[in-house]
């Protein structure tokens, strides 16, 4: 009898879950579509959110080229991260000469790399470490931050470059595999941070997709990436917001509003490029902050992370739904 009762409860539970899925799926699909909806207007100024991935920036460049905008504005906050995000296979190349000037001794040295992986387990990031183009070691990063060390014999004056090669970038149902690097440290006392001491070359170290890491905001990074794609740098303006950990969309919109007060630019209409379900919150924020002074449209690009996993779609839709409700309240003063 007990087994029969257990079976009945299991059948009832499964039936409830199936019924709930059937009932809620249309509502979920509607909500996801609403948050991701594009709104078209006639515009001569294109705003690109600086946090967008490379494929989205390529689509933004195509939009700019095909629809003949006068200007493109990249927005974003000043960086709050001490770690550089290698989002594609490639080389983060450190040039330590300036940091090592005046240190002319030979002998055994320790070279440390502080790193972590966005994903763990079998999906953790892998990287190779090169000294002067010679492979010195390879490691698997972990989700927790960790220092990876090697011993090296030689004169520090002979080190021209130290390269970290990210080798296994991939995206799947498990998520997006990324590698994060903070710095190189020599003999546990000479830190060489990525900012102002390194370049990032995607895929191959041939200089064709090279970013010099001297930027301080997502807006500046997006501008650099658009220039690499072929855009005229004189048509791009990077507008950076303050360094914040919350309300980043609002902070970026306020920075754009303040920049407009002194900018010599004739605006007939504005289109903003965002990603997936975040688009509705961005569109609402700029309309409120700019007090509907301009016609403002939104282009929602496909979010490939979102489309790969039902769980990711669900979580992102819920997060953005809560986000837009929260923003509705914080935008009341504007």
Q: What would the pLDDT profile of 257-314 be if each residue is shown by its tens digit?
A: 999 999 988 999 999 999 999 999 999 999 999 987 899 999 999 887 655 666 677 7
For the domain bounded by 84-202, which CATH number is listed?
2.60.60.40
Supply the mean pLDDT for the chain: 86
| Structure confidence at residue 66 (pLDDT) | 93
What are the residue boundaries of the structural domains of the chain, listed by start? Answer: 35-79+215-330, 84-202
Strand 45-49 and strand 170-172: pairing?
unpaired
Q: Where are the alpha helices (DSSP H) in the chain?
A: 2-35, 54-67, 97-100, 218-229, 248-260, 279-289, 304-308, 310-330
**Residue matched to tokens 């959110």:** 49
What is the model's pLDDT at position 17? 46
Q: What is the CA radius of gyration of the chain?
A: 24
Q: Could you give the percent of the chain with pLDDT greater than 90?
A: 52
Does the pLDDT at position 2 exceed 50? no
SS3 content of the chain, % helix, strand, coil (to 5): 40, 30, 30
* 305: helix, strand or coil: helix
Q: Which fold has domain 35-79+215-330?
A: Rossmann fold (3.40.50)
CATH topology identical between 35-79+215-330 and 84-202: no
Is the confidence at residue 5, as pLDDT, over 60?
A: no
Cα–Cα distance measured from residue 207 to residue 200, given in angstroms and rounded to the nearest whole number:
9
Q: Give pLDDT tens digits for 166-216.
A: 999 987 767 788 999 999 999 888 899 888 889 998 876 566 678 888 888
∠ CA 261-264-270, nearest 5°, is: 75
pLDDT recorded at residue 205: 59
């Amino acid at each position: 009898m007990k087994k029969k009762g257990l079976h009945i409860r299991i059948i009832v539970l499964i039936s409830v879950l199936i019924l709930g899925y059937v009932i809620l799926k249309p509502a979920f699909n509607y909500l996801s579509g609403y948050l991701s909806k594009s709104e078209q207007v006639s515009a001569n100024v294109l705003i690109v959110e600086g946090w967008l991935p490379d494929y989205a920036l390529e689509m933004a460049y195509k939009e700019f080229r095909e629809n003949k905008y006068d200007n493109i504005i990249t927005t974003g906050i000043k960086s709050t991260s001490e770690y550089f995000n290698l989002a594609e296979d490639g080389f983060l190349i450190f040039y330590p000469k300036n940091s090592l000037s005046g240190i002319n001794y030979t002998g055994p040295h320790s070279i440390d790399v502080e790193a972590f992986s966005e994903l763990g387990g079998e999906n953790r990031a892998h990287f190779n470490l090169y000294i002067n183009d010679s492979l010195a070691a390879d490691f698997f990063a972990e989700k927790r931050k960790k220092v990876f060390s090697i011993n090296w014999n030689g004169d520090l004056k002979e080190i021209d470059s130290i390269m970290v090669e990210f080798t296994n970038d991939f995206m799947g149902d498990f998520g997006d595999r990324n590698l994060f690097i903070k710095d190189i440290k020599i003999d546990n006392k000479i830190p060489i941070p990525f900012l102002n001491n390194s370049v990032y070359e995607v895929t191959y170290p041939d200089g064709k997709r090279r970013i010099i890491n001297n930027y301080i905001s997502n807006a500046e990074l997006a501008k650099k990436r658009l220039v690499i794609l072929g855009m005229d740098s004189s048509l791009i303006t990077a507008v950076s917001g303050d360094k914040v950990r919350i309300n980043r969309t609002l902070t970026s919109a306020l920075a754009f509003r303040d920049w407009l007060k002194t900018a010599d630019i004739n605006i007939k209409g504005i289109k903003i490029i965002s990603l997936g379900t975040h688009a509705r919150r961005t569109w609402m924020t700029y309309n409120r902050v700019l007090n509907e002074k301009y016609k403002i449209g939104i282009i929602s690009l496909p979010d490939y992370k979102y489309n790969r996993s039902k769980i990711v779609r669900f979580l992102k839709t819920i997060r953005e739904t809560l986000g837009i409700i929260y923003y509705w309240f914080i935008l009341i003063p504007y």
